[in-house]
Amino acid sequence: ALTAGIVGLPNVGKSTLFNAITQAGAESANYPFCTIDPNVGIVEVPDSRLNKLTELVKPKKTIPTAFEFTDIAGIVKGASKGEGLGNQFLSHIRQVDAIVHVVRCFDDENITHVSGKVDPIDDIETINLELIFADLDSVNKRLQRVEKLARQKDKEAVAEQEVLSKVKDALENEQPARALEFTDEQQRIVKGLHLLTSKPVLYAANVSEEEVADPSANENVAKVQEFASNEGAQVIVVCAKIESEIAELEGEEKEMFLEELGIPESGLDQLIKASYSLLGLATYFTAGEQEVRAWTFPTGIKAPQAAGIIHSDFEKGFIRAETVSYDDLVDGGSMSVAKERGKVRLEGKDYLVKDGDVMHFRFNV
């Protein structure tokens, strides 16, 4: 399963945020595919469409979909040179599919900052540099191996050498690999390099309880936003400390608390949604009288693979997928009206599944 890794310097609020994630408490019985590991937190994906479908279909049971966050502790300045947990940290980051970079934007004199002052851009750059150093190391090693073959005019080696040199140039200019543009063919090569700086990233700006309703008053947040927009990255403002309180609430209680705080949606919920799409994940639904359920799929897959997420037999015996978009179903108010209106399509094995599709699979056993 794809996972988003939570990364940040010490004392920025990572554990607090991760605890909020764990407390939000997805029932793991519903998600047998998820890893059981203390560093992995399973979160349910907040999705108002699921509530609406439940109202329409009135099933016995409603099951949201979920995915994983991995807590990656221990990065300090010099990690790429083996400081702190060093290489161990880097290998953990290598295993995640996207990076949630937590940045301290709150002032609190009781909580020491590793470099003595709250400076989010300096913090971001410290971590980014460690990742860049680590990548530079692997790119250089790889280049040595490839250059020999490239001299012998090995076609693949020549192509790889080209990519490696381009990445190396960027890294030496302190640019992450994700900032580069590649052809599809080159992209395939880049993927094979498993670089840390090519993983997609978003920033979580951790602010104080007082600032969460109006983060625009926080200069640090503005700095992070400017930095991120230059990279084309997203920023989510959270207050890790209150997220752990919010995480214990549900339904009306949660809404009331958010209203008191003056925020429309909890930062954690925003973070969950943003991380989900950063991972390239999307949701389709099944909606029957027994159960209305959200299912996670990686964008770009076809109907049979989507069916296989529910059960491998569905994929093997796939015939067709009765499909209606969420909007068309809700517009009609019921499956039968959507059918009358011709909105329910019979899709075959080449159909690219879309976010919000409500699907019913037909298959041979």
Quote the least distance from Cβ 310 to ligand GDP, whole Å.
37
Tokens of 41: 């937190």
Between CA 298 and CA 304 the distance in angstroms is: 13
Give the count of residues interacting with ligand GDP (CB under 6 A): 16
How far CA 188 is from CA of 106, 159, 192, in Å, comes to: 40, 11, 7
Residue 111 within binding range of ligand GDP, rule CB under 6 A = yes
Residue 241 within binding range of ligand GDP, rule CB under 6 A = yes
Residue 293 within binding range of ligand GDP, rule CB under 6 A = no
Quote the least distance from Cβ 92 to ligand GDP, whole Å.
14
Q: Which window, 24-32, 162-170, 179-187, 236-244, contacts ligand GDP (CB under 6 A)?
A: 236-244
Site string for ligand GDP, 197-216 (x = CB under 6 A): ---------x-x--------
Beta strand segments in the chain, E: 3-7, 40-44, 61-63, 66-71, 98-104, 201-206, 234-238, 281-287, 291-298, 318-325, 345-347, 357-363
Comparison of 237 and 344: residue with beta carbon closer to ligand GDP: 237
Burial label for 210, CB within 10 Å (0-12, 13-18, 19+), is exposed
Residues 236 and 271: beta-carbon distance below 8 Å: yes
Between CA 105 and CA 358 the distance in angstroms is: 41
Quote the least distance from Cβ 218 to ligand GDP, whole Å.
11
Return the closest-CA partner of residue 171 out of 196, 192, 147: 196
Quote the least distance from Cβ 249 to ligand GDP, whole Å.
18
Specify the residue for token string 């996207």: 98
Q: Which window, 235-243, 288-296, 337-345, 350-358, contacts ligand GDP (CB under 6 A)?
A: 235-243
Is 35 annotated among the ligand-binding residues?
Answer: no
Residue 239 within binding range of ligand GDP, rule CB under 6 A = yes
Is 65 annotated among the ligand-binding residues?
Answer: no
Residues 1 and 66: beta-carbon distance below 8 Å: no
Tokens of 195: 């670089």
Comparison of 42 and 118: residue with beta carbon closer to ligand GDP: 118
Between CA 177 and CA 197 the distance in angstroms is: 5
Comparison of 113 and 293: residue with beta carbon closer to ligand GDP: 113
Is 13 annotated among the ligand-binding residues?
Answer: yes
In sequence order, the β-bridge partners of residue 285 are 294, 358
Interaction with ligand GDP in 248-287: which residues (CB under 6 A)? Answer: none
In sequence order, the β-bridge partners of residue 62 are 292
Q: Which window, 105-113, 304-312, 330-338, 349-357, contacts ligand GDP (CB under 6 A)?
A: 105-113
Site string for ligand GDP, 8-47 (x = CB under 6 A): x-xxxxxxx-------------------------------
Comparison of 14 and 293: residue with beta carbon closer to ligand GDP: 14
Quote the least distance from Cβ 11 to ligand GDP, whole Å.
4
Mode of pairing for the β-strands spanning 281-287 and 318-325:
unpaired
Residues 43 and 21: beta-carbon distance below 8 Å: yes
Torsion of CA 351, 356, 357, 361, to 10 degrees: 100
Comparison of 205 and 309: residue with beta carbon closer to ligand GDP: 205
Burial 155-169 (b: 16+ CB within 10 A, else e): eebebbbebbebbbe
Is 3 annotated among the ligand-binding residues?
Answer: no
Residue 84 within binding range of ligand GDP, rule CB under 6 A = no
Quote the least distance from Cβ 19 to ligand GDP, whole Å.
8
Quote the least distance from Cβ 73 to ligand GDP, whole Å.
7
Comparison of 10 and 46: residue with beta carbon closer to ligand GDP: 10
Is 15 annotated among the ligand-binding residues?
Answer: yes
Binding site, annotated residues for ATP: 11-16
**Using CB under 6 A as the criterion, which residues of the chain lie in contact with ligand GDP when the complex forms?**
8, 10-16, 106, 108, 111, 206, 208, 239-241
Binding site, annotated residues: 11-16
